Amino acid sequence: MHDEDILLRSTQGIAYLAIAPCIFLSAAVWFTSDSIGIVIANLFQVYFSILLFFLFGNIWSLKSNFEEQYNSQLKKMALIPILLALLGIALTVFINPAWGAGCLMIGFYLSRFVRFYYSIFEVISKTYIDLLNRISIILCICLMLIFTYWLNPYSNPLETYI
């Protein structure tokens, strides 16, 4: 087996293990009582923000592996997750969790279409780009489930924040 295959499989395993709690928490809010569901939904948003902070650190540390022409682009890429996390936390704390989840969902989805990503993607292998796309889609679905939970008119979990 080649070193590249081992690295890819290891990276895939780490990525899927990192998002497994997001998948579990976003599904668990629908199968628990309302009081526990609110705690789980808040826990999801905390975990997702921590995941974005780790993503910031990983992208920032990649600067040493690329040429000088990509360093400024990697700095811009690294700022997107940390700004999303901070904005989501601020909206969750100061307004309500639905605003925070909505901001995370829209920001995370739209960040996939930022123009300066594409020059970095020319350097990275297609298999890693496919992995990034799969993980992004899974996380967007999880964010949609949490956002839908907060706006659920039957259980009305936002009532505790109003």
Token pair belonging to 99: 């605003």
**Residue 24 reports pLDDT greater than 90:** yes
**Residue 67 reports pLDDT greater than 60:** yes
**Residue 73 reports pLDDT greater than 60:** yes
If you average pLDDT over residues 135-160, what whole number do you get?
Answer: 86
Q: Does residue 110 come out as left (phi exceeding 0), alpha (psi in the -120 to 50 range) or beta?
A: alpha
Q: Are 41 and 150 in contact (CB under 8 A)?
A: yes
Task: Count the domains in the chain.
Answer: 1
- What span, in angstroms and rounded, lies between the C-alpha atoms of 138 and 23? 8
Please, what is the average pLDDT of the chain?
82
If you average pLDDT over residues 8-24, what whole number do you get?
Answer: 85
Q: Write out pLDDT tens, residues 103-119.
A: 888 888 888 776 656 66
Highest mean pLDDT among 61-70, 72-81, 100-109, 110-119: 100-109
Sequence letter at residue 55: L
Domain range for 50: 3-160
